Structure 1
């Protein structure tokens, strides 16, 4: 399995290192964080290919990190002798018998690390030294990749020309499932792994025989007529024959069918599900790397649930999975302990979670834990009315909504505060928690979650018992009954406490849309100041 990934100078990554989990890796991050780039870099180093073509064929100037190139151009134009930018991707593997042919110490680790591994390097081609020297007299931001070459080597410094059989890799991108002439490159590779050499040879021979038979059937009359045209120079007969060259192999003509419909014409969600199932069902004796991009795309909730169950059932000890996702449902269902939070030049594993907490969110996969992972700061509240009121108070104090400062407000919706706080602690996020005192001393309420609270980082804010047991009486206590009635447009004929308790969300909505500001309860004001500052 992969123990470490290093990416230098490739696309968004200037210098990036990640130590993945041994089995499942759930890769999440904001937009442009580099999730897809990471998957592409790993696939590139494992297979030597991208988009079904060799790295040298796909090489272009936009592979290079723009800041590295800009720095290089600036230094060169300033007269400094700066070396041309390069791309370097390294994949480190655990020491396993079947990977010993890849073992060596030719890698960038310091101190020296002898282990199995592969590297892919894009560097200037010495054969074009004169042309590069001429280009360097007036360098441009678009590098002359025509003068570059791609080196794919093992850590033993052996050149690799074809993917080593130990590195069977399946790549499933459910965002854009490409199907050209029936089978795309990745599906053809997956299906090929299900056939042994004898089966492939038998199918190929039968395919040639079928094509050859057409010369004696459908093409016979046509060839007789063409043969009488004397179109060639030296009285040689012209005839139509089925192409038997190797480039017309059977793989390009055979395609799976789903309920009698060609694979390429089935829905994209169906295509992704089939490719994932085929990839993960391969012979368990092989060391497989399965890379799945956003499995939630093109799938209904029911279909996604079915697919995730299939992934869980098919996962084996011999496979290492890398899954990118924008879905909290996928994240919760497959397990929060596998989360990897990715940024442009950093990757952070979630701190160890209690297995019970992982299981807790697996049973409640609808809760938006992904928002917790991606937010800069978090405010946890008990319900939607608390969320609406806090947002209004925050805007009154600071002039903008919390989200404009990267502060996300999440309603726990009845979830256990302890579980939510443990996850926030594992993510190491600044958190303000607001809750009702329910007539209990706040000191007593803090005790069950004290281990997850850290002054200045994660704090719990509870209103005093004297001001009211829930949000609504707290609002009345700090604003007076007459003022609250005026804001809510409630006449004296109605009992205010009863109405507010019965219409909690409507109360919050009317306060949020009112032209009048309210005086915030002290604990909410302190929470706003804490999370803002």
Structure 2
């Protein structure tokens, strides 16, 4: 298992250290937070390849962190000495017998530490020192990568020329379109890992026989005719024969089929699911590391449930998964304890959640947990009517809706208040929580969740018992019955509280849309002011 990932100078990550979970790692973050870059860097250090090609073939100026490049250029133009930008990707592994060949102390640990690991380093080639210095006298934002070299080495400082078997890696990117050539490089690698050497040899030999037989069948008559036609032109007439060179090996023409349909013509969701199942198959030489980009793409809800269940059942103790997702369902189902919240040069893990809370969210996979995880500030309310009224009061006070101020208002929809606050506390989120008193004194309701509250950061707002048990009687008391009857269009003959309690959401919508000034209950007004800051 990978026990530490260190990235320096690679794309968005200037300096990033991640300590992954042993089994599942769910990478979540806003756009441009570096989730895919982390996955790409890990895969690059594990395989020495990217997009099916070696690192040296794919190396380009855009790999380098722009902040480091800009700083280098600024210093050189000012005449200040500065070292050329470099890239380092370092993976440390647990100390097990299978990885002893990777063990050494040539790494960045301080103090020195010997353990198994690999590094992918992109640095200047000293053979081009003069050319690099000449370029640096008038540098541009695009580094001259032609003068750089890529080194893939173990912590024992030995060059790696081919991927060690112990680092078998499967990469599944469900965001990409189907491969026009039949199957993409990653699937070809996964399928290759499923074949034993003897099976590969047998298939290759049989394929050569098939190609050779065509010279004696379909091509025989053609060659006879060509000999007679061209015999007078030269002494050595042309013949047609099947190419037996390595570039026409069986891997290029043998493709998987699903129910007699070529794999490349299957739906993208089905392609992704098949790749994941192949990579995690217990009955084959499985990949030790599986990288999955957004498994929810192209899948219906039912298919996603099936796929996640299969991933859970197939994942073994000796297999480590890295998964990026924008789906709350994936996050909840695979477990909040596997969450790694990504940001620029940061990767925060949830380490404080009670196992019962993790299990609780797994049972509520449809809840939009991802909004809590990604929001800068959040307001938790009990239901849709509370959400609508809160947003109306917020607009009245601050002149614009909460979302424009970076505040997400989320209905708990039956979610336990304690569970929601525990998650916010683990994420160190700024949160305002509103709830009805239900006839219970606010102090008694606050006591069970006190450990997750924090003055100035996480607060609980509850209406006074004297003003009513729920939102509706509180609105009636503070707005006044005549005004609310006018706003809601309720006749004097109807019981206002009964109607508002029965038509909670409709009442909230009419209050939200009215041009008349309303007087909110104090606890809502306090929550609005606290949320805005």
Query: What's the TM-score once normalised by structure 1's chain length?
Result: 0.98
Q: Is the 8 A contact 1:385 1:504 kept in 2?
A: yes
Corresponding residue for residue 77 of structure 1: 77
Q: Is the 8 A contact 1:153 1:159 kept in 2?
A: yes
Corresponding residue for residue 332 of structure 1: 332
Give the Å deviation of 1:428. Answer: 1.4
Alpha-carbon distance change, 287 to 230 in structure 1, aligned in 2, over 3 angstroms: closer
Corresponding residue for residue 179 of structure 1: 179
- SS of 1:228 mapped into structure 2: helix
Give CA-to-partner distance per residue, 1:286-329, whole Å, 9 cap, x none.
66000100000000001001100110110001100001100000
- SS of 2:218 mapped into structure 1: coil
Give the Å deviation of 1:189. Answer: 0.9
Q: Distance in 1 between matches of 2:233 and 2:500?
A: 99
Q: Which moved more, 1:488-497 or 1:133-142?
A: 488-497
Corresponding residue for residue 280 of structure 2: 280
Give CA-to-partner distance per residue, 1:121-149, whole Å, 9 cap, x none.
11111121121111111000111111111
Corresponding residue for residue 407 of structure 1: 407
Corresponding residue for residue 446 of structure 1: 446
Alpha-carbon distance change, 49 to 262 in structure 1, aligned in 2, over 3 angstroms: same
Q: Distance in 1 between matches of 2:192 and 2:140?
A: 44
Give the Å deviation of 1:451. Answer: 2.2
Q: Is the 8 A contact 1:208 1:244 kept in 2?
A: yes
C-alpha RMSD of the superposition: 1.4
Q: Is the 8 A contact 1:461 1:524 kept in 2?
A: yes
Q: Distance in 1 between matches of 2:419 and 2:20?
A: 25
Give CA-to-partner distance per residue, 1:141-180, whole Å, 9 cap, x none.
1111111111111111111111111100000001115424
Pairing 1:177-326 to 2, within 5 Å after superposition = 177-230=177-230, 234-281=234-281, 288-326=288-326
Give CA-to-partner distance per residue, 1:385-443, whole Å, 9 cap, x none.
00011111111111221112221111111121111111111111111110011111111
Corresponding residue for residue 529 of structure 1: 529
Q: Is the 8 A contact 1:193 1:282 kept in 2?
A: no
Q: Distance in 2 between matches of 1:232 and 1:486?
A: 106
Q: Which moved more, 1:109-118 or 1:443-452?
A: 443-452
Give CA-to-partner distance per residue, 1:32-61, whole Å, 9 cap, x none.
111111100100010011111111111111
Corresponding residue for residue 93 of structure 1: 93
Corresponding residue for residue 436 of structure 1: 436
Pairing 1:377-396 to 2, within 5 Å after superposition = 377-396=377-396
Aligned pairs, number:
533
Q: Distance in 1 between matches of 2:484 and 2:281?
A: 63
Give the Å deviation of 1:94. Answer: 0.7
Corresponding residue for residue 63 of structure 1: 63
Q: Is the 8 A contact 1:172 1:186 kept in 2?
A: yes
Q: Distance in 2 between matches of 1:125 and 1:234?
A: 52
Q: Distance in 1 between matches of 2:223 and 2:360?
A: 72
Task: Check if 1:509 corresponds to 2:509.
Answer: yes
Pairing 1:491-506 to 2, within 5 Å after superposition = 491-506=491-506
Q: Is the 8 A contact 2:280 2:286 kept in 1?
A: no
Q: Is the 8 A contact 1:285 1:318 kept in 2?
A: no
Q: Is the 8 A contact 2:194 2:285 kept in 1?
A: no
Q: Distance in 1 between matches of 2:122 and 2:233?
A: 50
Q: Is the 8 A contact 1:340 1:347 kept in 2?
A: yes
Q: Distance in 1 between matches of 2:170 and 2:347?
A: 23
- SS of 1:17 mapped into structure 2: strand
Task: Check if 1:147 corresponds to 2:166.
Answer: no
Q: Distance in 2 between matches of 1:390 and 1:284?
A: 55
Q: Is the 8 A contact 1:177 1:271 kept in 2?
A: no
Q: Is the 8 A contact 1:328 1:370 kept in 2?
A: yes
Pairing 1:453-472 to 2, within 5 Å after superposition = 453-472=453-472
- SS of 2:111 mapped into structure 1: coil
Query: What's the TM-score once normalised by structure 2's chain length?
Result: 0.98
Alpha-carbon distance change, 105 to 233 in structure 1, aligned in 2, over 3 angstroms: farther
Q: Is the 8 A contact 2:279 2:286 kept in 1?
A: no
- SS of 2:166 mapped into structure 1: coil
Give the Å deviation of 1:490. Answer: 2.5
Q: Is the 8 A contact 1:123 1:148 kept in 2?
A: yes
- SS of 1:151 mapped into structure 2: strand
Corresponding residue for residue 371 of structure 1: 371
Q: Is the 8 A contact 2:436 2:463 kept in 1?
A: yes
Corresponding residue for residue 12 of structure 1: 12
Q: Distance in 2 between matches of 1:393 and 1:441?
A: 24
Q: Distance in 2 between matches of 1:406 and 1:17?
A: 28
> Which aligned runs of 4 or more in structure 1 are off by greater than 4 angstroms?
231-234, 282-287
- SS of 1:120 mapped into structure 2: strand
Corresponding residue for residue 126 of structure 1: 126
Q: Is the 8 A contact 1:232 1:238 kept in 2?
A: no
Alpha-carbon distance change, 232 to 436 in structure 1, aligned in 2, over 3 angstroms: farther
Alpha-carbon distance change, 310 to 343 in structure 1, aligned in 2, over 3 angstroms: same
- SS of 2:254 mapped into structure 1: coil
Q: Distance in 2 between matches of 1:87 and 1:269?
A: 35
Give the Å deviation of 1:491. Answer: 2.9
Q: Is the 8 A contact 1:351 1:427 kept in 2?
A: no
Q: Which moved more, 1:450-459 or 1:84-93?
A: 450-459
Alpha-carbon distance change, 285 to 456 in structure 1, aligned in 2, over 3 angstroms: same
Corresponding residue for residue 51 of structure 1: 51
Q: Distance in 2 between matches of 1:157 and 1:287?
A: 25
Structure 1: 5+ residue stretches without partners: none
